[in-house]
Amino acid sequence: MMFTVAIIAILITILLALVRALLGPTVYDRIAAMNMIGTKTILLIAVFAFLTDRHDLLDIALVYTLINFIGVVAVLKLIEQGNLYTDGETSVDNQQEVNDK
């Protein structure tokens, strides 16, 4: 019963995050919403594993966590420096590219 309520609550949370992702005026709203949806999917799988007594699903939830993290890091790197192939110090680089245009 407890797990059922938890699953329904997680689904409602995913719905709310989706609303924010659709409405989100800024890029950061959408990033936070997508990170939230990923995290809630992981929680959904974890709760579902306990609900149906298949504890091997917890490993899958862990892998999802890693993938979600990689995705968010890539998105934030792109937002911050405008490309994915330099190592950080590219706010100057961006400025150069803008100046070149």
Partner 1 sequence: MIDNIVDITLLSLIAIHAVAIIRMRSLFAVVMLFSGFSFLSAGLFVVMDAADVAFTEAAVGAGISTVLMLATLALTYTPAEADKEEKAPTHKPWLPLSVVFITGALLIYGTYNLPGFGDPNAPSQLHVAPYYLEKSMPETGVPNVVTAVLASYRGFDTLGEVTVIFTAGIAVLLIIGGRRRVKSKIEKNGGDREA
Q: Are 60 and 48 in contact (CB under 8 A)?
A: no
9 is written with which tokens?
A: 């609550």
Decide: is 18 part of the binding site for partner 1 (CB under 8 A): yes
In 3D, which of 32, 30, 13, 12 has the Cα closest to residue 21? 30
6 is written with which tokens?
A: 């938890």
Decide: is 31 part of the binding site for partner 1 (CB under 8 A): yes
Helices (H), the chain: 2-23, 27-52, 57-81, 91-100
Decide: is 94 part of the binding site for partner 1 (CB under 8 A): yes
Decide: is 21 part of the binding site for partner 1 (CB under 8 A): yes
Decide: is 24 part of the binding site for partner 1 (CB under 8 A): yes
Which residues of the chain form contacts with partner 1 (CB under 8 A)? 4, 7-8, 11, 14-15, 18, 21-22, 24, 27, 30-31, 33-34, 37-38, 41, 44-45, 48, 51, 56-57, 60, 63-64, 67-68, 70-71, 74-75, 78-79, 82-86, 93-94, 96-98, 101
